Structure 1
């Protein structure tokens, strides 16, 4: 390997003297702050120039030296700049991928003030190298910035979860508030919106606007917590499918492994159902979510799976983080579902566990330690390519002796007490999930509001123009019907606790790539497209700004599509076509690998699409 300058050696100590800077750290400030909190590079083997990303370092003690170290041949600092007046330094990192095998590589950059190991900050750096032939063909399909897929290089870009707007509770045909109970499934069929709802029994309501709902008479399905699917592939007589999930099939609390479990049902009208076959000889203790996944040509089922203990003794003692999300894949959703039949019965007691089927999501060390995922509400988003959304119900358990504001009911266990909020997880394949932020997607209400303390999201959504409507339920109690400080909040809303709420989300607006007022940029990896115009879902507000440059696969600006030629983008748009001085027609570049470079200032970028119009 050729010799490099001291700035780009394999192990890089940067000892930077900032003695000309005055000022002592304030006690409440960390001595060293770094943003962003990780770097993620994607590069093709055929690229001659490695990608760049910038990292900013803030030093509260500007009288000290500081140091950067890392251990990777393929990572180097391309440029180091600083603003001595505020104690801020910026390092621009470049990847040198020559000779690296395709695959994933990782290292860690460590920053600390000299002589103060307690100030140590670690910055994970991830690199993915792929062969040039796998450049992504986006065609004319819509692409969203829900994760790092379309971010090869960036500066001051953060992926943000965007909570929807609460617009009130569901109403009946007379405009009165109506509580639909637990939302089993939201569907659109033959020009009508449908909600299957209830609990121990399933009911059906219809709507033409998604706000006002009319109960369909004579629909009373005696299948506890059954979940619905409209199957686009089956014959009309079996177009509707229903699956019991929450409770054990049969009566009483005793489970008969020879006959009880999860069953499938089918119908031609969604009202009268015929039982089919037994699908699992176990029970789930929650609602499962079935989908037809057109991307892989199979049915998929997202379900709760309990964490299986290592021994019967551990099972009796309880398991932390016990509720997980798992996934089943099958060619025939009315035939028995695949699972591992070798799991000893002593470890599961007829309950589906993560040993029977593979788990895909759970809480981790970044979550509150006494929490898990109660319900998943997984949704295959139909309006963009490769977008799977999961509106998780994150269950924060109360701890005996610590949460003294709760009055325990007789004969209940503390593990069942707690609050539940809705968060967001995203995926490109329904198997590998990430959580852009650990923040509420729909937040719980105040103690005097109907949607306090416990929320779960309904599965499915309704598109109305450039908006998406979603639905959620609240019991108005903590889990297992306890009330926090009952002497104060028992009658806070005159017993009108709980109900069904509606939220409005921007079309494709669940996650955005955000840049604040300091400005920044985002550049995609090379893509191949078809179409004549580049359209964006973007919001700069009134005082933000965005411009777009098209570059070749090696990052060089393409003539006529430079930033200097781009018409400034100002405003809030769900479908904005980019214009350069030469016009908006990009069809001459169709079929050729290009990078899309976005220069952004106080802007939210949701997605892009190449279209013929």
Structure 2
């Protein structure tokens, strides 16, 4: 039966998450015990996995869903956005949002579906000073629509699935880079621009001819590498327990390739593999959906790790099963430390879930920006997304753009849940002069005793380093994404840079999101 109103039962989700967490904790503890030294430089270290954990006491990992802004921040309002001209008026994020340091504004490239002889899709442009109130400049004069160029259209018949601003690109004319399935040439292609407004002609990528209709690219500034996730239509002989076997079922499969120059790409590898038994139990048996597909994947390179949001498409009706067409979508976290290895699904929890029935985004979350932008105060990640009031395959639906808000680094935290606990890292080397924590140690217990975090730095034998012991550390009682650790008012750790040390973090009633040595 249709599943739009059938949420995942919390007990199943909890069991699945606990099973995966327990297994990964055992594996990581064994792996970390074999590691000698982790060189973390000055990169931000997240706690989504156990990479930086040698041991834990009384800590549990929590995964966090987004807090939504509420009402959409952009709605369709013009004929070229489908208002009065298409079955589904729509603005959605097959595109990207960036904070432009030079112009001191947020810039958005978004997609619409419209009824136009030149093509169904178009890439549009908007700006904002605060990320909430958006301005659509109607005087760009770039593309003519119904006899007038007074609109905010940048490219017709093309959805901007990825827009990158690559500051270290030596060719100024290619500083802005757009990758998409370009329907003007019916192929995956790059377009380049000096300003993000006036785009050159499509440059096709022959290596990916014959693929499907969607792809996203991330640029890793550290490695100077592009990573491409691309969708394939894959036929198989999947057997559904009720509907039976169909030899031509189309299955959306994702592969990944990398490049140093946008032109030459590595041999693609399977990105996700088959859905595992936990997924099948949760969604197919639990919700009664016919099949699972990954409709889209948002990609983000962040301090040496790779974050993704998987658009989970749960095909829910018999007709939809055979053509992969009908059903809802929600956003789920993906994670990797290596582009070309299978990505992890750290939690089955939807981090960008649909709204409740009747809300503007209750049908599906389809279209999520590749990377978040920080809000103006710098303590939140904002993911812009396309929310639809009908599921995939419905004949009439409307799409608007909303914001899914996370704490910076806020997909996962290590929590003590009111007790005292501790974390010790493996031996590591770092670069920097200070240690910062993304931590929430605010509040107090029922007796009025304040929550706290204290940090000690230890040598490679596990002994506290003089001047950096737990007793030397000034207790942290703050809620801050960038809290500088001090020991008797001293924050300088530069004399330890390059040495082999480990970090032990003592916590009570606190949540730890990330650590970073900084200059």
Distance 2:373 2:193 in 1: 23
**Structure 1 vs Structure 2 CA RMSD:** 3.3
Residue equivalent to 1:424: 333
The 2-side partners of 1:583 and 1:420 are apart by 50
Is residue 138 of structure 2 the alignment partner of residue 229 of structure 1? no
The answer to whether the Cα contact below 8 Å between 2:94 and 2:160 also exists between their aligned partners in 1 is no
Structure 1 pair 581/268, CA: closer, same or farther in 2 (3 Å)?
A: closer
CA distance in 1 between partners of 2:232 and 2:459 (Å): 47
Q: Which residue of structure 2 lines up, in the alignment, with residue 181 of structure 1?
A: 92
Q: Secondary structure at the match of 1:127?
A: helix
> Residue 277 of structure 2 aligns to a residue in which SS?
coil
- Asked whether the equivalents of residues 225 and 287 of structure 1 are also in contact (C-alpha less than 8 Å), the reply is no
* Structure 1 SS opposite 2:191: strand
Between the aligned partners of 1:445 and 1:375, the Cα distance in structure 2 is 19
Aligned pairs (5 A) from 1:38-53:
38=23, 40=25
Partner of 1:296: 223
Q: Closer, same or farther in 2 for the Cα pair 1:360/1:158, shift >3 Å?
A: farther
Instruction: Find the aligned partners of 1:534 and 1:273 in 2 and give their Cα distance.
Output: 43
Shift of the alpha carbon at 1:332?
2.7
For structure 2, the residue ranges without an aligned partner over 5 or more in a row are 1-14, 78-88, 113-120, 142-152, 239-243, 285-290, 445-450
User: Using a 3 Å threshold, how does the CA distance of structure 1 residues 431 and 160 change in structure 2: closer, same or farther?
Assistant: farther
Structure 2 vs 1, CA of residues 162 and 36 (structure 1 numbering), >3 Å: closer, same or farther?
closer
Compared CA separation, residues 220 and 316, structure 1 to 2 (3 A)? farther
Q: What are the within-5 Å matches in structure 2 for residues 425-444 of structure 1?
A: 425-432=334-341, 433-444=343-354
User: Does 2:293 correspond to 1:391?
Assistant: no
Of the three residues 175, 180, 197, the one matched with 1:239 is: 175
The answer to whether 1:609 aligns with 2:516 is yes
- Aligned mates of 1:271, 1:588 — CA distance in 2: 48
> For the residues of structure 2 that align with 1:39 and 1:300, how far apart are their CA atoms?
26
Q: Report the Cα offset of residue 574 of structure 1.
A: 1.4
Structure with more relative contact order (C-alpha pairs < 8 Å, separation 6 or more): 2
Q: Secondary structure at the match of 1:366?
A: helix
User: Is the CA contact 2:92–2:385 (under 8 Å) kept in the aligned structure 1?
Assistant: no
In 2, Cα distance between equivalents of 1:125 and 1:155: 13
Q: Which residue of the partner structure matches residue 301 of structure 2?
A: 380
TM-score between both structures, scaled by the size of structure 2: 0.75
Structure with higher Rg: it is 1
Q: How does 1:576-587 map to 2 (within 5 A)?
A: 576-581=483-488, 583-587=490-494
Alpha carbons 1:262, 1:283 under 8 Å: kept = no
TM-fit CA distance, 1:427: 2.0
Could you tell me the TM-score, scaled by structure 1's length?
0.65
Q: 1:127 aligns with which of 20, 27, 31?
A: 31
Once the two structures are TM-superposed, the CA of residue 138 in structure 1 deviates from its matched residue by 2.8
Give, in whole Å, the separation in 2 of the partners of 1:398 and 1:240: 39
Instruction: Give secondary structure in 2 for the equivalent of 1:548.
Output: strand
In structure 1, the partner of 2:136 is 215
- Equivalenced residue count is 439
CA distance in 2, matches of 1:272, 1:582: 52
Does 2:127 align with 1:203? Answer: no
CA distance in 2, matches of 1:563, 1:553: 16
Q: How far 1:590 sits from its partner (Å)?
A: 2.9
Cα distance in 2 between the residues matched to 1:160 and 1:551: 27
Matched, 1:527 2:435: no
1:360 has 2:294 as partner = no
For 1:576 and 1:332, the matched residues in 2 are separated by 38
- After superposition, residues 119-518 of structure 1 pair within 5 angstroms as 126-128=30-32, 130=34, 132=36, 135-168=37-70, 169-171=72-74, 180-189=91-100, 190-191=102-103, 192-199=105-112, 200-217=121-138, 218=141, 219-227=153-161, 228-232=163-167, 233-245=169-181, 250=185, 260-280=186-206, 282-307=209-234, 309=236, 317-319=247-249, 322-333=251-262, 335=263, 337=265, 339=267, 357-362=268-273, 363-367=275-279, 368-369=283-284, 370-381=291-302, 385-400=303-318, 413=322, 415-432=324-341, 433-456=343-366, 457-463=368-374, 464=376, 465-481=378-394, 497-518=398-419
Gaps (5+ residues) in structure 1?
A: 1-29, 42-105, 107-123, 251-259, 340-356, 401-407, 484-494
SS of match in other structure, 1:37:
helix
Cα-to-partner distance string for 1:30-54 (whole Å, 9 max, x where unaligned):
9xx999623647xxxxxxxxxxxxx
